[in-house]
Structure 1
Amino acid sequence: MSPPQGASPGSGPRRAAGGPVKAGLRRLRYLLEHGKHGLQGHRTVVGNAVRVTTASCAAFYLCRYGLGLTVMSVYATFTVVSLGALARIPGSGRQRATTVLTAIPAGLVLVTLGTLLAVQTWAAVVGMLVIGFVVAYAGTTGPRIAGAAPGMQLLYILPCFPPYAPDFLGQRLSGFLLGAVLLALAQRFLMPEPDTPSFRRLLADAADAAARLADHHGGPPPVQALAQAHTAGEALRPTCVPPADRPASPTLPHKAMAHAAEAVRTLLSRLDDLHTGAGQHQKYHPETVVLLEGISAAARGAADALRQGKRLRPGAGPSASALQEELAPVRAHRAVDTLERLGTDDRLVYLRRRSQVVQAADCAVVLVLATRLMLGDRTVERNPAGHTFAYARVRFPELWWQRLTMHLTPRSVIFQNACRFALGLAAARAIAGLLDLQHGFWVLLATLTLTRTTSLETWSAVRQALTGTLVGAVLAGGMLALVHDRDTVYAVVLPVVMLVAFIAGPLRGLAWAQGGFTLVVATLFAQVSPVTWQLAPVRLVDVLVGSLIGLACGLVAWPRGAGSEVRRSMAGLCSAIADAIGYTTARVVERSGSTDIFALNRALGLAQESLAQYQSEPREDTPQPDWPALLVAGKDARRGERLLPDRPGRIASQDVGTWLRHAADRTAADYRSLARHLCTDRGTPRDHPQPLDIRALLAVTPAIPRDSPDTETRAVSAALLLDSVIWLDALTADLTRIHKEM
C-alpha cells in the first residue's frame, strides 16, 4: 500500500512506530554530538576551565574539609582562580606551568605586603597605588608577565582588607603556595595546551628557505622555493608568532633573536626581489653566483646551529668569514660599475637591482652573527660587522633598565594603562575602607576586571557586568535561601558551578562571566562561614561601586585610549627617524659624533605599542595613514644606523660629502614635516617627498680610473657612498608610500 498523497515515505507510520522514547533518544544523541563538536571547537576555553576547576576544587576540599583550615582554603582557591582564570597567561601547558612557578616569589611578597599593610586604610591605599602601578607596568618586560599581571594584582587585593590578621599570614602563604603548585601541575598534565614551534625553529626554517632561494642561480623564478620563503617569512611576523614564543624580553638572547628575525626576513625579501625582478631566463653574473653560494652556505650554517641549540664557544658555530671575504670586492666593484651607469639611471632602477644581492649578503652575515650571539658567543663584536651588535657590550642590568625606562613617559599607552589601573584600584580601596564595606575586595575586583582603555569600552563592560551580576545575584540568593547551611550540597554543586562559569564566561561574554562568578563566590563562601541570601545583594552593590569607580577612572584618565596617542607616537617616530638620518650621515661623512639608537628604539617601541592597542579598541571606520609603513621606515632607519657608520672607507671628496649631507637633510626635513602634520592636521600633507637628486651627485663625483694606484681605496669609498644612497632612497620610498595612503 502506497503512502497517502503528499506524505513522504518515512513520515507518519515510522514516527508513530518509533514512539516518543526513540524520538527523545534521537534528540539527545543530536544534542550530545553537537555539544561534543562545539566543545572540540573551543578546546582552549574548555581545557582551561577544566584545569582551573580541578585545581581550585582540589585545593579547597583539601584545606577546608581535610585540614579544617578555612583561611588557607580561601587563599588556595583564589590563587588558582586569579592565575588560571583572571590572568591570561599565554603559551603551551609547559610554558604556562613555568610562568606560574616563576611567579611564586613575587606572589609571596604580594600576599605578605597585603597582610601587613591592612593595618590601616591609608597604608593599604598607598600600597595599592604603588603595587597596582608596578605590577601593571611590569608587563613591559614580556607577554608572559603582562598576561599574569591581572592575577598578580588579586594576590595583593585579597589580603589587604580587614580584619588585620598577621597571625594568619602562615595560612595565607601556605594556601597561595598550594594553589600555585596545583595550578602548575594542572596546566602541565591536565588537558595541556599543545606545544608550538619554538622561535628558534621558525628562524631555522626561514634560514633554510633563504638557502634554497640562494641555490637558484638564474633561469625561471623558483616558484616553489619562493612560496616556501613567503610562508617562512610570514611565520616570523610578530602578529603570527604566539605571544609566549616572541623574543620580547630585554635579555641578550631575546634581543639577538629579534635581530636575527629582522635579518632573515629582510634576506628573504631581497632574494625574492632578485629572482622575481630578473627576466624569465636571465643568467646571473658570476659575481652574483658567488655571493648567492656564500649566502646559501651561511644561511644553512645558521639553520643547523639553531636546530641544535647548543651553547657555542667563542669562535665556534656558523661562520660568515668566507661570505664577507667574497662580499668586500664585489661591493667595491659594483659600486664603481654602478657610478658609471648613474648618468642614465636617475630613477635608481639599475642601482636598486645591482644592490639586491649585496644587501642580501649583508643580511646573511648579520643572521650568522646574531645566531652566534643568541647561542652565547659574545665575541661577535670583534667581527668586522660586529658594530651592528652594540647591545652585546651592554651588561644585563643595563638592558633591563633600558627596557623598564622605555615606557616611563606619559606618552606611552603602557604607562597610561598602569596609571589608570593603579588610580582606580587605590580609589576603590579607599572607598571600600571608608565605607567599611563587608566584602570590599569585590569592589577592587570589579574595578580591576571592568576598567578598559577607553571610556566607551568601560561603559559597555559595566552595563554587561551589572546585568550579569544582577541575574547571578538573584540565582545565588535563591540557592542560599533554599540550601541554607547544608555544606554537602554546596560541596557537590561547587565543581559544576565553576566549570559552567569558566566555560560560559569566555564563550558567551562578560555578562555570563559576572553572573557565573557571582554563583561561584556564593557557593564558595557558604562553605567557609555562615551566610544568608543577603550575600547576593552585597555582591551586587560591591560590583556596582567598583564599576562606577572604573567608569570614573576611564572618563578622567585618557578616556580616548590610543585613539590620539597613536598619532603622537607616530609623529615621535618620524622625528626619531629624522634624528637618526642626521646622526648616521654625520658619522658616514665626518667619521665623528655618536648615534643614539636607544632613542630610535624607544620611539619604535612606543609606536608599536600604541598601534597594537589602537587596533584592539573599537573605533569608527575612519581613514587612517599607513601606520605599518611608518614602522617599516623606522626599522629601515635603524638598519642604516647600525650598519653604515663603521663600514670601511670614507667620503674623501668634500663636494660628495656636501651632497650626501644635503640629501640626508632634505629627507630628514620631509620626516619632520610629516611629524608636524600628524600632530596638527588630519588632512593630506601638502609637501610631497622629492626623489634623490642623482644628477647633482654625478656632477660632483670624480671618475674612478680602473688602473690608478688608489683605485681600490676609492672603490671602497664609492661602495660606502652608494650604500648610503640606497639607504636614503629606501627611506624616501617609505615616505612616498605613506603620503600616497594619506
Structure 2
Amino acid sequence: MRICAAALREVLTEADRLAADAPPEPTPDLAAARLLRSCAETTRAAGRSLSPKAPAVTLADLDVAVGRAEAAYPVGAGSARDGPDVQRLCGDATVLVLADQVRVFAVGCRVAAGARLDDPHASSGLFEYARRSPWTLYWWQFRSHLAPRSAHLHSSLRLAVALAIARVAAGVLQLNHGFWVLLATLTVLRTSAADTRTALRPAVLGTIIGAVVSGGVMLVVADPIVYAIVLPITLLLAFGVGRLLGPVWQQALFTVLLTVVFAQLSPAGWRLAEARLVDVLLGAVIGVLAGVAMWPRGAGHDLRYNATRYLKASADAVEETVRAVLGDAPPPEGALSRVRRRMVLIDSSYCQYHSERHDPHGQRVNWDAVLSTGHHVVPGAEALLRRNPPGCLAGWPEAAALLADAVGRLRSAYDTLADEVAHGRTAGPAPVSMTCVDQLDRIRPLLRGADLRSVRHLVEVDRWLAGLADSLTRIQRPTADESAGRGR
C-alpha cells in the first residue's frame, strides 16, 4: 500500500507536468490520448479493486495502449530535414512515464488484494517479494536486518538485555513472583528514552493503585472460591475496559487481575499485593535503565542515517543508469538492488519513528517524500532501460555532455540533501527543475540532423532526470500533513 501511495503521487505529478509542458495549441496525438484514457480507466479499476470482494484489476488493456504509444512514439515527431518536434517528444515521454507509474499502482493493488504475480516481467522489481515463498521472505528480512542501524535489531537487543537483567535480578534476590519483574520491564520498556519515561509514570501509579485495592480486598476476603468467581469479570475489566480508560487504569486493573489469579493458587493475604508492587518497581527501574542506556534517541537517529544512505544509493543508481544508456557501464542491477536493501531498513525505521513521541517544536523532514525517491528511482530506471537499452546513446558526445552535466547537478543535489537529512533539516536551496523543452534548448541546433530514435532516447532520459529533480524539490517542502503531525 505504501508503494501504491508513492506511485499514485507520481501519477498526479506527471499529470501536472504534462499539463504544464503542453503548448497553447498542441498537435493532436491520438496514441497518447488513448494511453491517457487507458491510464485513467486502469487507475479507477485499481482503486475499486481494493474494496472487499471486488475483482482484481487487469493490465491487458493498459499494456496494449502502452505498446501502441511506444510504436507511434517516433512517428509524427518531425523529420531529419525539419528537425524533431521536441515539444511532441517531451509530451509523449511524459505520458509513458505516467503510464509506468499507473502500472506500478495497479500491480501494487493486485498484490494488496492477494492476486498472484506469475509473470516475472509483469511488474517492477519493487514487488519481487510477491513471487517468493514466506520462508524466503523471512530469510530476506532476517538478512537485511543484520545491520548496525536496523530498528528491529536495536529493539531485539534492547529487549533481550533488559529481560536478561530482570531475570538475573529476580534470581539473585530470590523473589517468589520474579516473573512480575519481567512483566514490568516489558510494560515500561520502549524504543526511546523519552517514551520509556512516559510509560514509567502510569505503570508505577497504576501498580500502586492496584496493589492498594488488592491488598484491601485480600484483608477482607480469604476464600479462594470468591477469586475464582470474580476472575472472568476481572479479565474483562483488565483487557477490555482498561484499554478504554487509559494506561494508568489498565495497569491498575492488570495488577488486580494478577492478584486474583495467584490468590487462588497460594493465598498470601495482603503481602501478595506488596510483592507485586516491589517487583513492578524493580522491573520499572530495569526497563528505564535499559531504555536510557541502549539507543535512547529511538528511531529518529537511525532513520536519518538510513535515509542518508538511501539517498546516496539512489544517486548511485541514477548515475549508473545514465552511464549504461551512454554505453559506459553495464545495466545497474547491483545499484538497484542496493536501493531495495536500503529501502527495507528505512521502512522499518520509519514505522518505528511514527510510534514514538517527538519534540513538537523540532524541525521535520518530509519522510513520505524521502521514501518516495526510491520508489521513483527503481521502477523509473527499469522502465527507462526497457525502452532505452544500454548503449542506445553511445557515439553522441553532445548528448553525453548534456546528460553528464544533468547527472552531476542531480548527484550534487542528492548529496546536499542527504547531508541535510542527516542533521534533521531540509533548509538548503531546493534544486531547480527545468521543463523538458527548456532542458533540450541548449542542444537544439544539434538535433536537426540527428536520428529521431536517438533524440527520443535522449528526451526520455532527460525527462526522467527532471522528474527526479522534482522529487527532491518535494522533499524540501514539508507537506501539510507532516506539519500538522508535529505534535503527535
TM over 0.5: yes
- After TM superposition, the structure 1 = structure 2 runs for residues 336-355 of structure 1, keeping only pairs within 5 Å, are 340=84, 355=93
Q: Which residue type is aligned with residue 327 of structure 1?
A: A
- SS of the residue corresponding to residue 684 of structure 1 reads coil
Matched, 1:469 2:211: no
**TM-score when scaled to structure 1?**
0.55
State which of 340, 356, 381 in structure 2 corresponds to 1:601. Answer: 340
Question: Could you say if the C-alpha distance between residues 404 and 334 of structure 1 is closer, same or farther in structure 2, counting changes exceeding 3 Å?
Answer: farther
Deviation at 1:557, TM superposition (A): 0.3
Percentage of matched positions with identical amino acids: 31
Q: Which residue type is aligned with residue 600 of structure 1?
A: V
State which of 546, 549, 571 in structure 1 corresponds to 2:283. Answer: 546
State which of 266, 271, 274 in structure 2 corresponds to 1:534. Answer: 271
Partner of 1:255: none
Question: Could you say if the C-alpha distance between residues 402 and 598 of structure 1 is closer, same or farther in structure 2, counting changes exceeding 3 Å?
Answer: farther
State which of 423, 442, 445 in structure 1 corresponds to 2:183. Answer: 445
Matched, 1:324 2:66: yes
State which of 614, 622, 625 in structure 1 corresponds to 2:365. Answer: 625
- Conserved? CA contact 1:451–1:551, under 8 Å: yes
Deviations 1:64-116 (A, max 9, x none): xxxxxxxxxxxxxxxxxxxxxxxxxxxxxxxxxxxxxxxxxxxxxxxxxxxxx
Matched, 1:432 2:432: no
- After TM superposition, the structure 1 = structure 2 runs for residues 630-709 of structure 1, keeping only pairs within 5 Å, are 630-649=370-389, 650-652=392-394, 653-679=396-422, 684-685=427-428, 689-691=431-433, 694=439, 697-698=442-443, 701-703=446-448
- Provide the rounded CA distance (Å) in 2 between the counterparts of 1:388 and 1:610: 19
Deviations 1:601-643 (A, max 9, x none): 2323333333343343222212223332222223222232322
- Provide the rounded CA distance (Å) in 1 between the counterparts of 2:190 and 2:411: 37
- SS of the residue corresponding to residue 191 of structure 2 reads coil
Deviation at 1:262, TM superposition (A): 5.2
Q: Which residue type is aligned with residue 606 of structure 1?
A: L
Question: Could you say if the C-alpha distance between residues 377 and 625 of structure 1 is closer, same or farther in structure 2, counting changes exceeding 3 Å?
Answer: closer
- SS of the residue corresponding to residue 456 of structure 2 reads helix
Question: Could you say if the C-alpha distance between residues 317 and 680 of structure 1 is closer, same or farther in structure 2, counting changes exceeding 3 Å?
Answer: closer
Deviation at 1:518, TM superposition (A): 1.1
Partner of 2:315: 578
- Provide the rounded CA distance (Å) in 2 between the counterparts of 1:613 and 1:505: 25
- Conserved? CA contact 1:291–1:327, under 8 Å: yes
Question: Could you say if the C-alpha distance between residues 539 and 412 of structure 1 is closer, same or farther in structure 2, counting changes exceeding 3 Å?
Answer: same
Task: Give the superposed CA RMSD.
Answer: 3.9
Deviation at 1:431, TM superposition (A): 1.1
- Conserved? CA contact 1:264–1:367, under 8 Å: yes
The unaligned stretches of length 5 or more in structure 2 are: 480-488
- Provide the rounded CA distance (Å) in 2 between the counterparts of 1:359 and 1:739: 23
> Matched residue pairs, number?
465
Give the number of the structure whose alpha-carbon radius of gyration is greater: 1
Q: Which residue type is aligned with residue 617 of structure 1?
A: E
- Provide the rounded CA distance (Å) in 2 between the counterparts of 1:536 and 1:483: 14
Matched, 1:724 2:461: yes
- SS of the residue corresponding to residue 195 of structure 2 reads helix
Matched, 1:291 2:35: yes
Matched, 1:587 2:310: no
- SS of the residue corresponding to residue 97 of structure 2 reads helix
- After TM superposition, the structure 1 = structure 2 runs for residues 143-542 of structure 1, keeping only pairs within 5 Å, are 238=2, 258=3, 263=7, 266-267=10-11, 270-271=14-15, 285-295=29-39, 318=60, 320-333=62-75, 340=84, 355-366=93-104, 375-381=115-121, 397-484=135-222, 486-542=223-279
- Conserved? CA contact 1:578–1:669, under 8 Å: no
Partner of 2:483: none
- Provide the rounded CA distance (Å) in 2 between the counterparts of 1:302 and 1:380: 20
Deviation at 1:656, TM superposition (A): 1.1
Q: Which residue type is aligned with residue 676 of structure 1?
A: D
- Provide the rounded CA distance (Å) in 1 between the counterparts of 2:120 and 2:282: 58
Q: Which residue type is aligned with residue 511 of structure 1?
A: V
- SS of the residue corresponding to residue 532 of structure 1 reads coil
Deviation at 1:499, TM superposition (A): 2.3
- SS of the residue corresponding to residue 220 of structure 2 reads helix
- SS of the residue corresponding to residue 185 of structure 2 reads helix
- Provide the rounded CA distance (Å) in 2 between the counterparts of 1:733 and 1:396: 37
- After TM superposition, the structure 1 = structure 2 runs for residues 604-615 of structure 1, keeping only pairs within 5 Å, are 604-615=343-354
Deviation at 1:593, TM superposition (A): 4.1
Deviation at 1:648, TM superposition (A): 4.1
- Conserved? CA contact 1:387–1:646, under 8 Å: no
- SS of the residue corresponding to residue 437 of structure 1 reads coil
Deviations 1:560-604 (A, max 9, x none): 112323322222222122111122212222261432323212323
- Provide the rounded CA distance (Å) in 2 between the counterparts of 1:482 and 1:601: 63
- SS of the residue corresponding to residue 622 of structure 1 reads coil
Deviations 1:524-576 (A, max 9, x none): 11122333211000000110110000000011001111232332222222212
- SS of the residue corresponding to residue 619 of structure 1 reads coil
- Provide the rounded CA distance (Å) in 2 between the counterparts of 1:320 and 1:467: 60
- Provide the rounded CA distance (Å) in 2 between the counterparts of 1:552 and 1:397: 36
- Conserved? CA contact 1:432–1:440, under 8 Å: yes
Deviation at 1:680, TM superposition (A): 5.5
- Provide the rounded CA distance (Å) in 2 between the counterparts of 1:659 and 1:362: 25
- Provide the rounded CA distance (Å) in 1 between the counterparts of 2:431 and 2:460: 20
Q: Which residue type is aligned with residue 512 of structure 1?
A: W
Deviation at 1:428, TM superposition (A): 0.7
- Provide the rounded CA distance (Å) in 2 between the counterparts of 1:718 and 1:372: 35
Deviations 1:407-457 (A, max 9, x none): 222212222122111111111111112222111111001111110122222
- Provide the rounded CA distance (Å) in 1 between the counterparts of 2:336 and 2:268: 61
- Provide the rounded CA distance (Å) in 1 between the counterparts of 2:477 and 2:106: 37
Question: Could you say if the C-alpha distance between residues 416 and 680 of structure 1 is closer, same or farther in structure 2, counting changes exceeding 3 Å?
Answer: same
- SS of the residue corresponding to residue 296 of structure 2 reads coil
**TM-score when scaled to structure 2?**
0.81
Question: Could you say if the C-alpha distance between residues 730 and 351 of structure 1 is closer, same or farther in structure 2, counting changes exceeding 3 Å?
Answer: farther
